[in-house]
Amino acid sequence: MDREFINSYNDYVNNGNAWFNLNPLSKLWICMCIGLSAVVVRHWQFGFSLCIFYCIAALIIGIFPRFIKNYITISVLVILLTIVIRQFSMRDPNFTPFINILGWQWYKEPFIAALNIISYIMGFSGALLIYFQTTEMRDLMLALENRGVTHVASYIMLSSMQSVIDMRQSAQTILESQKSRGIETDGNIIVRMKAFFPTLGPILLSAMSGTEEKAIAMDARAFSHNGGHTYLRVLRPIPVWEYICDGLALVFLICSIVWKVLSMTGRV
């Protein structure tokens, strides 16, 4: 019998990383304050500085390969769409010519406006990406329950998030099984659509059977009982330094709001 494994359930959750071990609500507060600062300031230099900060933070935390892959995907889509739309929608004879690409004249003012929009979108999305890549949803729901959220509400939220992941994994499994039977699943968009639509039936059936299994498991564990519930995972108490970090994040957000107000009034 693995006593170390058994005793692990008697200890607080330990992920071996200072950032990972932060209380999920504290991490959410810090990430939201930093992300909202980009939305408040809306200046490309500030927003892109946050993007660099996120990359450095991801490298220190240890999630850089996973983070940068998703972040670049989001960035490319946002950058291309925003710049092109701004160049088409903002037209004025007084605009300053910036660059000419294959006969298409780009102007400086729409380009700067696009950069400002891109910077706060990326500044906010980067914070959320780091949060969700370093926080397990079950720990977030447990933290919410510790703050007074009912176990029914926390289960509904957790189940909704987990259902999307389960359906994606189920679809991937079905596609791989079809591929092993010689059915073509790779290729252009039409081939992929032809391979995907037949999987919808098994996915829905699997989801319905999974719902029944969850209902039976919940009933066996007295989920509807109104008394106190026990947990296999226990979050550590929030230390004082963690509250200080939350306060510093709030101060950072307030400073960005003050700076924005002063810049709009022309005082900075």
Q: What DSSP state is assigned to residue 14?
A: -
Question: What pLDDT, on the 0 to 100 scale, is given for residue 253?
Answer: 95
Q: What is the DSSP string of 199-267?
A: GHHHHHHHHHHHHHHHHHHHHHTTTT-SS----S--PPPPPHHHHHHHHHHHHHHHHHHHHHHHHHTT-
What average pLDDT does the chain have?
Answer: 81
Of 206, 253, 195, the C-alpha closest to 29 is 253
Q: Give me the residue label for tokens 């037209």.
A: 91
- Say if strands 97-101 and 104-107 run parallel, antiparallel, or are unpaired: antiparallel
Supply the pTM of this predicted model: 0.78
Residues of the chain above pLDDT 90, percent: 28
Of 120, 113, 112, the C-alpha closest to 40 is 120
pLDDT digits (tens, 9 = 90+) for 203-246: 777 767 776 677 777 766 666 767 667 777 788 888 999 999 99
Q: Count the Cβ atoms, other than its own, within 10 Å of residue 81.
A: 12
* Rounded average pLDDT over 135-148: 85
Give the pLDDT band of residue 250 (cuts 50, 70, 90). very high
Query: What does the block give as tokens for 217?
Result: 């498991």
Give the pLDDT band of residue 4 (cuts 50, 70, 90). low
pLDDT digits (tens, 9 = 90+) for 82-116: 888 887 777 777 787 777 777 777 778 888 888 88
Measured between alpha carbons, how far is 119 from 41 in angstroms, rounded to an integer?
A: 10
* Rounded average pLDDT over 50-65: 93
- Per the CB < 8 A criterion, the answer to whether 41 and 120 are in contact is yes
Q: Is 181 helix (H, G, I), strand (E, B) or coil?
A: coil
Position 84: which residue type?
Answer: V
